Amino acid sequence: MKYNNIIFLGLCLGLTTYSALSADSVIKISGRVLDYGCTVSSDSLNFTVDLQKNSARQFPTTGSTSPAVPFQITLRKVRTSP
């Protein structure tokens, strides 16, 4: 029983020290969301993505996915600054 009390006391002191050390830190996060326009290339305006045939059994739960089907959309006049 005495051994358990010593372990419990050590854990409590360890947690107290941890919270005291973290109280001195400051984390600042900053950023900007920019709304710069772009255009979709004419060769990417109209196309079909064939997702193949998939059995309903491939989707047993919410969040199930089909095999990946690669496709590409080309953007033009992409601005990265005002």
Residue 12: inside a domain, yes or no?
no
pTM attached to this predicted model: 0.42
pLDDT above 80: residue 76: yes
Residue tagged 């059995």 (tokens): 55
* pLDDT of res. 4: 66
Residue 41 lies in a domain: yes
Beta-bridge partner residues of 39: 76
In a domain? residue 2:
no
Q: How far apart are CA 55 and CA 63, in angstroms?
A: 15
As for how many domains the chain has, the answer is 1
Whether 14 is in a domain gets the answer no
- Residue 39 belongs to what domain range? 34-46+70-82
The DSSP symbol for 66 reads P
For 26-48, write each residue's pLDDT tens digit.
778 888 877 778 888 888 888 88
Higher pLDDT residue, 66 or 5?
66
- Position 52 in a domain: no
Question: What is the predicted pLDDT for the residue at 18?
Answer: 47
Identify which has the larger pLDDT, 82 or 75.
Answer: 75
Distance (Å) of CA 3 to CA 8, 10, 19, 20, 22: 9, 11, 25, 26, 29
